[in-house]
Amino acid sequence: MIIFVEDRQLVVDGYKERFEKAGETLIRIASQDIVEWLETSSVQELASVEAILVGETEDSAIVMEAVRRKMDVPVVALLDNRSLEQTIRFYRLGVDDVVSKPVHYEELLIRIATIKKRFFKPAAKTEVQPIVVFFDGRDPEIAGEQILLPRRERRILEYLAGINGRRASKSQIFGAIYGVFDEMIEENVVESHISKLRKKLRAKLGKDPIDSKRYLGYRLDPSVVQVERHIAQTMVA
């Protein structure tokens, strides 16, 4: 789930459908509501947020202070009229990247994926061919062979790879894949998706790279994951 802190609904609507077609849930939260949302959200809700986009807000300093106090995720500022002064100000506030609108949604996804890569630890050496995860909509690969996955299974794999060996509960995974605001789908669907994903990975790797523990959740072995560092050509709308 990606949060877009923006006071203009029309701006978010321009991105929402495109993000969701790429498998990303985009949620708008107005600047006057973001601080309260961060303070009152559960740990599971906060863990489901993969990145934050910051657009036009009443007070970007307050927004960024609240975000950085509660979360450690990629933050990208989208400016209508970018200037050197504004760019420096946002970097000093703690954003990871600053772009000018209009910007293509695929470029935003690539920028977010690039920021995430900075958080990864190098994978330990292993005799098992690593799972190459791209974070840009492509299916993963093992030994150069593409593994065709349904969108939900691919998103679960990306999410588990993105938290770099930490354990995630079923609720956290559900929130990351479906969004915490989706009340039409039962949380138990996660178990079915993961079961199918594990079977496919096991067939390719010869071992199960996903460990599950009751009450603690799921963990993807980071020693068999490789983050693809090639940056695709960006596109600006």
Has residue 234 been placed in a domain? Answer: no
Residues 52 and 104 in one domain: yes
Residues 40 and 112 in one domain: yes
Mean pLDDT of 77-101: 88
Mean pLDDT of the chain: 82
pLDDT (mean) for 132-146: 87
Pair 6, 95 in one domain: yes
Residues 34 and 137 in one domain: no
pLDDT at 234: 34
Instruction: Using the predicted structure, report yes or no on whether residue 27 has a pLDDT greater than 70.
Output: yes
- Which residues neighbour 22 within 8 Å (Cβ) at sequence distance 6 or greater? 105, 106, 109, 137
Q: Distance (Å, rounded) from C-alpha 140 to C-alpha 153?
A: 11
CATH of the domain at 217: 1.10.10.10
**What per-residue confidence (pLDDT) applies to 118?**
72
Query: Does a structural domain hold residue 126?
Result: no
* CA proximity to 208, closest of 192, 193, 224: 224
Question: In the predicted model, is pLDDT for residue 200 greater than 90?
Answer: yes
Whether residues 12 and 40 share a domain: the answer is yes
CATH code of the domain containing 102: 3.40.50.2300
- Residue 174: pLDDT over 90: no
Per-residue pLDDT, averaged over 111-134, amounts to: 72
Boundary of a domain, candidates 84, 117, 150: 117
Whether residue 233 is contained in a domain is answered as no
Confidence at residue 195, expressed as pLDDT on a 0 to 100 scale: 94
Evaluate if residue 231 carries a pLDDT over 50.
Answer: no
Q: How many residues does the chain have?
A: 237
The per-residue pLDDT for 150 is 93
What's the pTM?
0.56
What total of structural domains would you count in the chain? 2
- Give a yes or no: residue 123 inside a domain: no
Task: Choose one of 117, 141, 164: the last residue of a domain.
Answer: 117
Residue 180 domain boundaries: 131-227
Contacts of 186 (CB under 8 A, 6+ apart): none
Least Cα distance to 187 among 48, 24, 80 occurs for 48
Residues 56, 78: Cα–Cα separation, whole Å: 8
Instruction: List alpha helices for 41-149, DSSP H.
Output: 43-47, 60-70, 84-93, 105-117
Residue 95 CB partners (closer than 8 Å, separation 6+) = 54, 64, 75, 76, 77
Section 195-220 average pLDDT: 89
Residues 109, 17 within the same domain: yes
Q: Are residues 84 and 141 in the same domain?
A: no
Residues 211 and 167 in one domain: yes
**Going along the chain, which residue ranges are E strands?**
2-5, 26-29, 51-54, 75-79, 97-100, 131-133, 141-142, 145-146, 210-213, 217-220, 225-227
d(CA 108, CA 105): 5
- 15 and 95 in a common domain: yes
Q: What percent of the chain has pLDDT over 70?
A: 88
- C-alpha span between 147 and 188 (Å, rounded): 24
Please report which confidence band the pLDDT of residue 32 belongs to, taking 50, 70 and 90 as the band edges. Answer: confident
Are the C-beta atoms of residues 105 and 111 closer than 8 Å to each other? Answer: no
Tell which of 117, 148, 179 closes a domain: 117
Between strands 2-5 and 75-79, the pairing is unpaired
220 assigned to some structural domain: yes
